[in-house]
């Protein structure tokens, strides 16, 4: 399991280009989350109330870090392409994926980013849902231990109380940056949909997405049905463990497939 501490931070600093070293090691060591927020919900920041993920799920996800002090989660589409949340790769910065080989961390830089054309950064403030999706291309393929996830092509909206599995590298406790960096999962039921493009998930027991989980997968029967985008605390307050929102993948498959082809897989 990926464990973020000061020793990892020092090793990362020695293994990355000087331009990236300090900001990336700082983000890794302290689990700094995304800064953008809105009154009642914020970009989903590790899974609160979750458990360590299986090796199978870990092979389908990767941790994304950046020079702007942000960390997120991504879903493997091909060995060199990841699907994540659009707000995870905005604004402009240097982005990279962290991988571990024989216990040694290595960065694979992101060389190209494609945002969903209908994504609006202001959607967190206006509460008008837009597809919070982006595709990122890496400078080199992920290690052989990774494998592409199976993406849903179902355009039907899921029924209420349908059970999903969420996964992310974010913090396990709101505000506890040291708890970030381990892929965790949690089971949550759907409580509704928004705008025909987003699903809301909650069991009312302080579980769900938190800082660093944005861009993580929402699985249904082993298929990625959604990409985590935001979270609230109980009662709708800003924070984690209340409701988690995710953009549904099925209705956006045409864009995902076309973008993967245009980026050269």
What's the average model confidence in pLDDT over 40-54?
57
Question: Does residue 15 form part of some domain?
Answer: yes
In the predicted model, is pLDDT for residue 131 greater than 80?
yes
Question: Does residue 181 form part of some domain?
Answer: no
Domain span at 74: 6-37+61-148+253-262
Which residues 6+ apart lie within 8 Å of 144 measured at CB? none
Q: For the domain that residue 131 is a member of, what is the CATH number?
A: 2.40.10.10
Question: Does residue 117 form part of some domain?
Answer: yes
Question: Does residue 86 form part of some domain?
Answer: yes
Question: Does residue 191 form part of some domain?
Answer: no
Which tokens is 183 given?
């892929």
Confidence of residue 49 (pLDDT cuts 50, 70, 90): low
In the predicted model, is pLDDT for residue 186 greater than 70?
yes
Question: Does residue 55 form part of some domain?
Answer: no
According to the 3-state scheme, what is the secondary structure of the chain?
A: CCCCCHHHHHHHHHHCCHHHHHHHHHHHHHCCCCCCCCCCCEECCCCECCEECCHHHHCCEEEEEECCCCEEEEEEEECCEEEECHHHHCCCCCEEEEEEECCEEEEEEEEEEEECCCCCCCHHHHCCCCCCCEEEEECCCCCCCCCCCCECCCCCCCCCCCEEEEEECCCCCCCCHHHCCCCEEEEEEEEEEECCCEEEECCCCCCECCCCCCCCEEEECCEEEEEEEEECCHHHCCCCCCCEEEEECHHHHHHHHHHHHHCCC
Question: Does residue 87 form part of some domain?
Answer: yes
Question: Does residue 244 form part of some domain?
Answer: no
> In the prediction, which pLDDT does 7 show?
33
For 206-231, the pLDDT digits (tens) are 888 888 899 999 999 999 999 999 98
- Give the residue with greater pLDDT, 68 vs 196: 196
What's the average model confidence in pLDDT over 27-56?
49
> In the prediction, which pLDDT does 25 show?
44
In this prediction the pTM is: 0.82
Which of 11-15, 92-96, 256-260 is most confident? Answer: 256-260
Which residues 6+ apart lie within 8 Å of 134 measured at CB? 83, 84, 85, 86, 88, 89, 113, 114, 115, 116, 119
Overall domain count for the chain: 1
């Amino acid at each position: 399991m990926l464990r973020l501490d000061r020793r990892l931070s020092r090793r990362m600093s020695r293994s990355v280009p000087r331009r990236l070293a300090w900001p990336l090691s700082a983000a890794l060591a302290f689990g700094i989350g995304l800064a953008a927020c809105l009154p009642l919900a914020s970009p989903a920041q590790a899974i609160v109330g979750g458990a360590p993920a299986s090796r199978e799920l870990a092979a389908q996800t990767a941790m994304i870090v950046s020079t702007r002090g942000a960390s997120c989660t991504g879903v493997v589409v091909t060995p060199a392409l990841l699907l994540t949340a659009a707000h995870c790769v905005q604004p402009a910065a240097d982005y990279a994926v962290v991988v571990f080989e024989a216990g040694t961390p290595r960065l694979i830089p992101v060389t190209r980013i494609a945002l969903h054309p209908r994504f609006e950064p202001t959607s967190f403030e206006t509460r008008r849902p837009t597809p919070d999706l982006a595709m990122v291309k890496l400078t080199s393929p992920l290690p052989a231990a990774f494998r592409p996830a199976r993406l849903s092509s179902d355009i039907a909206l899921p029924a209420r109380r349908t059970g999903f599995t969420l996964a992310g590298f974010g913090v396990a406790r709101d505000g506890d940056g040291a708890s970030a960096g381990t892929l965790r999962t949690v089971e949550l039921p759907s409580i509704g949909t928004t705008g025909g493009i987003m699903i809301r998930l909650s069991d009312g027991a302080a579980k769900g997405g938190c800082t660093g989980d944005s861009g993580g997968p929402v699985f249904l029967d082993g298929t990625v049905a959604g990409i985590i985008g935001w979270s609230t605390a109980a009662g709708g307050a800003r924070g984690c463990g209340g409701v988690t929102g995710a953009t549904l993948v099925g209705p956006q498959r045409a864009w995902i497939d076309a973008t993967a082809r245009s980026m050269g897989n």
